[in-house]
């Protein structure tokens, strides 16, 4: 179900290259965008003032960086589970995501490996899109538990 949080944990031994992270979606309503601005303290006017955003050449207010980073993390952790630690994340904001858009997130496992200490690492590529197409490609390395570490 879109937007539903997982109640299980992915273990290193269960992940395989090519595994798909389930697609999630979110309505980027004006209320959510304004609440994100208030919660993060990012008061740049283009994130809450439609007139200011339009003067900048945007069609409306748009998501701030913290909202985007949080949604990318959610794509990963909704799939991987609560004991997942995001070691590294890199993303490129290529297109703005505006109030009123529907935001989609999905991903794929690119590789699985163990570090020098035997910890399970999974590399994933994720994409944040809207109804108009891809907006924010990202990659991440996550640490997940190995079986027996329960």
Q: How many domains does the chain have?
A: 1
Residue 105 lies in a domain: yes
In sequence order, which residues have a C-beta less than 8 Å from that of residue 80 and are 6 or more positions away? 6, 9, 10, 122, 142, 144
- pTM (2 decimals)? 0.90
Cα separation, 90 vs 125, whole angstroms: 10
Domain residue limits at 64: 12-144
Residue 7 covered by a domain: no
Q: Establish if 3 belongs to a structural domain.
A: no
The C-alpha atoms of residue 131 and residue 67 are separated, in whole angstroms, by: 18
In 3-state terms, what secondary structure has residue 45? helix
Q: What is the pLDDT along the chain (150 residues), one digit of tens a residue?
A: 444 444 689 999 999 999 999 999 999 999 999 999 999 998 899 999 999 999 999 999 999 999 999 999 999 999 999 999 999 999 999 999 999 999 999 999 999 999 999 999 999 999 999 999 999 999 999 999 999 875
Report CA Rg, the chain. Answer: 17
Give the CATH number for residue 119.
3.10.129.10
Kindly state whether residue 6 falls inside one of the protein's structural domains.
no
The C-alpha atoms of residue 43 and residue 84 are separated, in whole angstroms, by: 31
Residue 25 lies in a domain: yes
């Amino acid at each position: 179900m879109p937007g539903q949080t997982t109640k299980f944990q992915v273990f290193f031994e269960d992940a395989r290259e090519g595994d798909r992270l389930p697609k999630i979606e979110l309505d980027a309503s004006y209320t959510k965008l304004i609440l994100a601005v208030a919660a993060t303290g990012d008061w740049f006017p283009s994130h809450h003032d439609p007139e200011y955003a339009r003067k900048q050449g945007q069609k409306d207010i748009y998501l701030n960086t913290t909202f985007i980073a949080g949604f990318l993390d959610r794509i990963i952790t909704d799939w991987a589970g609560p004991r997942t630690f995001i070691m590294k994340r890199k993303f490129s904001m290529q297109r703005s995501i505006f109030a009123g858009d529907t935001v989609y997130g999905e991903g794929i496992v690119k590789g699985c490996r163990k570090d020098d200490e035997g910890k399970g690492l999974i590399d994933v590529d994720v994409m944040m899109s809207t109804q108009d197409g891809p907006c924010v490609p990202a990659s991440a390395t996550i640490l997940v538990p190995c079986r027996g570490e329960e």
